[in-house]
Chains A and B, each alone.
Chain A
Amino acid sequence: MENIYRPKVLEIIDIIEETPDIKTFRLGADISYRPGQFGLYSVFSEGEATFCIASSPTKKGYIECTVKRIGRVTDALHNLDLGDKIGFRGPYGNSFPIELFKGKNLLFIGGGIGLAPLRSLLLYCLDKREDFSEITLLYGARSVSDLVYKKEINEWKEKINVFLTVDPGGETPDWKEKIGFVPKVLEELSPKREDTFVITCGPPIMIKFVCSSLEKLGFSDHKIITTLEMKMKCGIGKCGRCNIGKTYLCKDGPVFSLKEIKNMPDEF
């Protein structure tokens, strides 16, 4: 009998401190997955928590997750060292519709740790750069120290357009990038909408404002793609808690177009 709740045991093979409360863990694993999928990660005797897979399937031999320290499991994870073992169940959920993106312009809009699920797709696109047209990233966080993937972003700049911003008051004296909330900066940038898909993730409130800015800019619903978050326990449609109306995030999501989201009751 197969135990569907039994995790694989994976070793932590690298840890990157992104911000004072966010770390990226690299886990040794041979797992096939698609950008946008998530897993249930566990620290044994503390419990399980849901994180997206933040690495790209183009890289073999490991998966990565970026974790914000916020409660029991994430605390315990942050206290682990290289060589320690954690549990992983997955990959679960749907994924970004990469086929639709081929040959198109892509505009990534991330807020805070919401860049993690976008990173999987972004790294994938960087590795298959010739499959896509212009790629732009607009990424914001509360303050400079809250920006994740700082080192990598510098490298990405060689291949794609990058705009960084921090909330007013979150800048440092030597900050040379933008200051202002993501939706406002987005409206200033006024990106072209022809042949462009937008992929966005961040705190729910940011997603809501970004979507209304995009609509103002004339983007159509089905070309705005986002990943949503609800509390999850099972990840496979059984425990019954991740629903928005009839939609189960773990099963039908977490990736949805704005068009789909508009058909959901406003309870997320």
Chain B
Amino acid sequence: MNLSDKLLNKEKLNDFIKALKKDFSVLLPVKDGNLIFFKGLKDGIKPCFDYSIASSHPLKSIFLPQREELFRFKIKKNEIEILESSMNDEKRIIIGCRPCEAKGLTIIDKPFLEWQPRDEAYLKRRENTIIISILCPEPEDTCFCTSLGYNLEDGSDILMIELSGCYYLEVLTERGENLVKDLPLAEDKKIKEKEKEILTSKIKRHISINSPIAFDNPLWKEISQKCLGCGICTYLCPTCYCFDIADEKNSRFRCWDSCSFSYFTKMAAHQPRPEQFQRYRNRIMHKFSYFKERFNEFACVGCGRCIRHCPVSMDIMEVIEKSGVRSQESGVKG
């Protein structure tokens, strides 16, 4: 199929969204105080597309919910009956997320969908959800997406760019194309490149992550001294996907977990990462070394959430720069 870019008149935006509502459940960014949340389209809800602060919850929470029942069971004497949990399998459209968040999903896809067996619940939600991201009007001062070497378009079905009077819709997939069949063609394709350039030129922070970070680097201890192991950075990260599995009385569920916590790897007689610097190192090395070796890309999209929300101001960019210093002499063993 030939994909062609479209234009959406701002005055038609409401009608466009309303029309989608016939076949999809539509999720939109909504302002609540100073925060942005993705909410279902209901009467009276006012979407906010020109937000410049990342949504409070990372987009992953829609695909890998913070807590999810895996199944239920009934125990009768010594008979066990397992009952499948009902899953929300409605068709959804997310409109107005940041491009980096859509990219984040393609990173979670790797272990969840490329590695067998596939995680079927996650797959179902990925298949059922169309993503229309919007080019950020302004980057935050913690953004560093351009350092990670991915395309702004990755992971989105349509990339929306606000122009005066209309939205430019860069159509990236067939299912995106199907949504905008009736909209007028965007003739001038140079506009989108120009707008992307304007945005990326506003991003202030840049790092180069060329060499693998050294596991044995003695700086790790010093760098991570401040880290409290609170796990906020992992919960808010659009690419962190670790989870725990546990039972309640009648069900088994999974919930987000964090490699920042000491019990994450605690075993009966043994704790391989007893110190916080080892846990912090694991998080950073997973993102910039281990994941890269397994899947040939970084498990970080440069959204800056972990920098903005860390209670003790740990700055992942600083850390990458510092920890990389000696990588030439003592790269990861092997």
Binding site for B on A (CB under 8 A): 1-7, 9, 42, 44-48, 68, 70-71, 83-85, 87, 203-204, 229-231, 233-234, 236-241, 243-246, 251, 262-268
What residues of A have a CB within 8 angstroms of the CB of B289 in the complex?
246
What residues of A have a CB within 8 angstroms of the CB of B87 in the complex?
1
Asked if residues A237 and B266 are in contact (CB atoms below 8 Å), the reply is no
Asked if residues A47 and B245 are in contact (CB atoms below 8 Å), the reply is yes
Asked if residues B247 and A47 are in contact (CB atoms below 8 Å), the reply is yes
Distance of A237 Cα from B250 Cα, bound (Å): 26
Asked if residues B243 and A238 are in contact (CB atoms below 8 Å), the reply is yes
What residues of A have a CB within 8 angstroms of the CB of B333 in the complex?
262-266
Residue in contact with B266 in the complex, picked from A45, A231, A245, A263, CB distance below 8 Å: A231
Return the chain B residue nearest A266 by Cβ.
Answer: B333
Question: Residue among A84, A246, A263 with the most chain B CB within 10 A?
Answer: A246
Return the chain B residue nearest A44 by Cβ.
Answer: B73
CB distance from B329 to the nearest CB of A (A): 16
Asked if residues A241 and B259 are in contact (CB atoms below 8 Å), the reply is yes
Asked if residues B245 and A239 are in contact (CB atoms below 8 Å), the reply is yes
What residues of B have a CB within 8 angstroms of the CB of A241 in the complex?
242, 257, 259, 264-265
Asked if residues B290 and A231 are in contact (CB atoms below 8 Å), the reply is no
Interface string of B73-101 (1 = CB under 8 A from A): 10100111010100100000000000000
B268 touches A (CB below 8 Å): yes
Return the chain B residue nearest A237 by Cβ.
Answer: B115
Name 14 interchain pairs, CB-CB below 8 A, sorted by A: A3-B70, A4-B117, A5-B245, A5-B252, A45-B73, A85-B80, A204-B270, A229-B267, A231-B264, A233-B245, A240-B242, A241-B242, A243-B282, A263-B333
Q: Which residues of B in the span 114-154 have a Cβ within 8 Å of any Cβ on A?
A: 115, 117-121, 124
Return the chain B residue nearest A74 by Cβ.
Answer: B268
Asked if residues B115 and A251 are in contact (CB atoms below 8 Å), the reply is yes
Task: List 4 extra interface pairs beyond A237-B115, A264-B334, CB under 8 A.
Answer: A45-B249, A236-B115, A265-B215, A267-B278
Contacts A5-B70, A231-B264, A264-B334 given: A85-B259 contact, CB under 8 Å?
no
CB distance from A110 to the nearest CB of B (A): 16
Asked if residues A71 and B268 are in contact (CB atoms below 8 Å), the reply is yes
Distance of A71 Cα from B78 Cα, bound (Å): 22
Contacts A4-B117, A245-B332 given: A83-B215 contact, CB under 8 Å?
no
Binding site for A on B (CB under 8 A): 70-71, 73, 75, 78-80, 82, 84, 87, 111-112, 115, 117-121, 124, 215-216, 241-250, 252, 254, 257, 259, 264-270, 272-273, 278, 282, 285-286, 289-291, 293-294, 332-334
Asked if residues A3 and B84 are in contact (CB atoms below 8 Å), the reply is yes
Asked if residues A245 and B269 are in contact (CB atoms below 8 Å), the reply is no
Distance of A263 Cα from B215 Cα, bound (Å): 12
Asked if residues B215 and A237 are in contact (CB atoms below 8 Å), the reply is no
CB distance from A38 to the nearest CB of B (A): 14
Asked if residues B78 and A9 are in contact (CB atoms below 8 Å), the reply is no
Shortest 7 CB-CB contacts between residues of A and residues of B: A263-B334, A240-B242, A246-B290, A70-B268, A5-B70, A47-B247, A265-B215
Residue in contact with B79 in the complex, picked from A85, A203, A231, A233, CB distance below 8 Å: A85
CB distance from B98 to the nearest CB of A (A): 24
Asked if residues A233 and B290 are in contact (CB atoms below 8 Å), the reply is no
Asked if residues A203 and B269 are in contact (CB atoms below 8 Å), the reply is yes
Return the chain B residue nearest A9 by Cβ.
Answer: B80
CB distance from A247 to the nearest CB of B (A): 8
Asked if residues B290 and A6 are in contact (CB atoms below 8 Å), the reply is no
Return the chain B residue nearest A82 by Cβ.
Answer: B78
Asked if residues A234 and B124 are in contact (CB atoms below 8 Å), the reply is no
Residue in contact with B286 in the complex, picked from A85, A243, A251, CB distance below 8 Å: A243
Distance of A265 Cα from B333 Cα, bound (Å): 6
Asked if residues B265 and A230 are in contact (CB atoms below 8 Å), the reply is yes
Distance of A264 Cα from B332 Cα, bound (Å): 9
Asked if residues A46 and B244 are in contact (CB atoms below 8 Å), the reply is no
Asked if residues A238 and B290 are in contact (CB atoms below 8 Å), the reply is no
Return the chain B residue nearest A233 by Cβ.
Answer: B245
Return the chain A residue nearest B242 by Cβ.
Answer: A240
Return the chain A residue nearest B85 by Cβ.
Answer: A3
Return the chain B residue nearest A235 by Cβ.
Answer: B245
What residues of B have a CB within 8 angstroms of the CB of A263 in the complex?
333-334
Asked if residues B70 and A243 are in contact (CB atoms below 8 Å), the reply is no
Distance of A262 Cα from B334 Cα, bound (Å): 8
Contacts A246-B290, A263-B334, A268-B272 given: A5-B254 contact, CB under 8 Å?
yes
